[in-house]
Amino acid sequence: MKPPPDRKRGALRAPLWILCAAVAWGAGCSPSDPLEYKVIANDELGLSMWRGDASRQLTLRQQSDLDLALQEIRFHIMATGAASGSKPVEVAMLQMIDGQTLRHVLQQGLGWELERAQAERSTLEAGMKTNALMRTRPGDTDSANYLTDLRERQVKRLRAATDEVNHARESLAATGLQVPPAPSPAPSN
């Protein structure tokens, strides 16, 4: 004699129901905002695996900003003398970001990028003001050509630095950080 069909279905439904509840509970435990994910960077492999998982939730812009933020963190570590050499710098960077939220890592790295780019832009502006005061002797075409070329290179570098400042500001704003308004650019001569 066959067992009633309801019994078989009931036996199969219970484990399926438990599995569905576990999946729903697990989905509810992870943050809905990918910027709130905790970075796992106990070593290079851990960071690589975390990035592989996180990349499915991040936009291409966020992934690009993460690359830039990590590079800026490395620059900062080297610039402050906290570490030198590729392996010690990488270890220091991993220690700095491990367990932090992605938002914090982006804000820290992009904040340092903004500071660096603003300092570069200020230095360029000051240099351009000084160089604009330079004059050549009448008939000295070599010096005049050099100054013209110098101004063109400085203008190009200033545009690049301004673009970098603007990108950092936009990326920081996308993380939810209140970024003060940008100072107006100095008039060029």
| Cα(61)–Cα(64) distance, integer angstroms | 5
Tell me the three state secondary structure of residue 3.
Answer: coil
pTM of the predicted protein model: 0.73
Give the per-residue pLDDT at 183: 60
The secondary structure of 25-55 as a DSSP string is: HHHHHS-SSGGGSBP--SSHHHHHHHHHHHT
Give the per-residue pLDDT at 78: 96
Average pLDDT, the chain: 85
For the stretch 7-20, pLDDT in tens is 555 555 555 545 44
Helical (H) or strand (E) element with 181: none
Please report the sign of the dihedral spanned by the C-alpha atoms of residue 160, residue 62, residue 55, residue 75. Answer: positive
| CA geometry: angle 56, 61, 67, nearest 5 deg | 85
For the stretch 83-139, pLDDT in tens is 999 999 999 999 999 999 999 999 999 999 999 999 999 999 999 999 888 888 999
DSSP secondary-structure letter at 153? Answer: H
